[in-house]
């Protein structure tokens, strides 16, 4: 089994995007290859126009959104996007966009931020994930 972590990124809220980026960073720091499969709302957050403007939090934590964003700014905490970019710079982190989701939305790879490495179907991701030590659904 490969020293690999696979992450299904289904949610696109800041708290979930942050969790995915932190987990990817941790995996890379431990010498793992990391594959992130962004689908539905996770993929929507990676659209060019959404990457820098998304401030939504999960319904469970929506009352904490404002205070959390302010605290992160005060403490100079990198955004989920900056965390993910840094993880990609440090090691083998690949972000795969779900081709079916993009097709449903009428979008192409060019509509997404360049942090996405490629578009692929679920079968391609599952084939890779079956060789992972860790698979997470966020």
Going from the C-alpha of 123 to that of each of 37, 100, 105, 128, 132, the distances in angstroms are: 11, 11, 19, 9, 15
Look at the block and give the residue holding tokens 């698979």: 135
Residue 71 confidence (pLDDT) above 90: no
Residues 45-70, mean pLDDT to the nearest whole number = 82
Look at the block and give the residue holding tokens 């942050």: 18
pLDDT tens for 77-133 read 899 999 999 999 999 999 999 999 999 999 999 999 999 999 999 999 999 999 999
**93 burial class (0-12, 13-18, 19+ CB within 10 angstroms)?**
buried
Instruction: Report the pLDDT value the prediction gives residue 60, as an integer from 0 to 100.
Output: 75
Instruction: Report the pLDDT value the prediction gives residue 54, as an integer from 0 to 100.
Output: 85
Instruction: Report the pLDDT value the prediction gives residue 56, as an integer from 0 to 100.
Output: 83
Average pLDDT of the residues of the chain: 93
CATH fold, domain 4-137, is Hypothetical Protein Ychn; Chain: A, (3.40.1260)
Instruction: Report the pLDDT value the prediction gives residue 1, as an integer from 0 to 100.
Output: 61
66-69 long-range Cβ contacts below 8 angstroms, 24+ apart: 68/14, 68/15, 69/14
Q: How far apart are CA 77 and CA 69, in angstroms?
A: 9
Give the residues across from 95 on adjacent strands: 36
């Amino acid at each position: 089994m490969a020293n690999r972590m696979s992450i299904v990124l289904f949610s696109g809220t800041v708290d979930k995007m942050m969790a995915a980026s932190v987990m990817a960073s941790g995996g890379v720091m431990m010498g793992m290859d990391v594959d992130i499969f962004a689908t539905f709302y996770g993929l929507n957050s990676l659209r060019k126009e959404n990457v820098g403007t998304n401030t939504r939090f999960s319904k469970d934590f929506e009352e904490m959104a404002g205070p959390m964003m302010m605290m992160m700014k005060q403490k100079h905490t990198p955004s989920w996007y900056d965390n993910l970019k840094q993880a990609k710079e440090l090691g083998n982190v690949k972000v795969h966009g779900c081709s079916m989701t993009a097709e449903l939305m009428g979008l192409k790879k060019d509509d997404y931020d360049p942090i996405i490495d490629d578009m692929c179907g679920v079968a391609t991701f599952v084939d890779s994930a079956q060789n992972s030590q860790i698979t997470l659904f966020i």
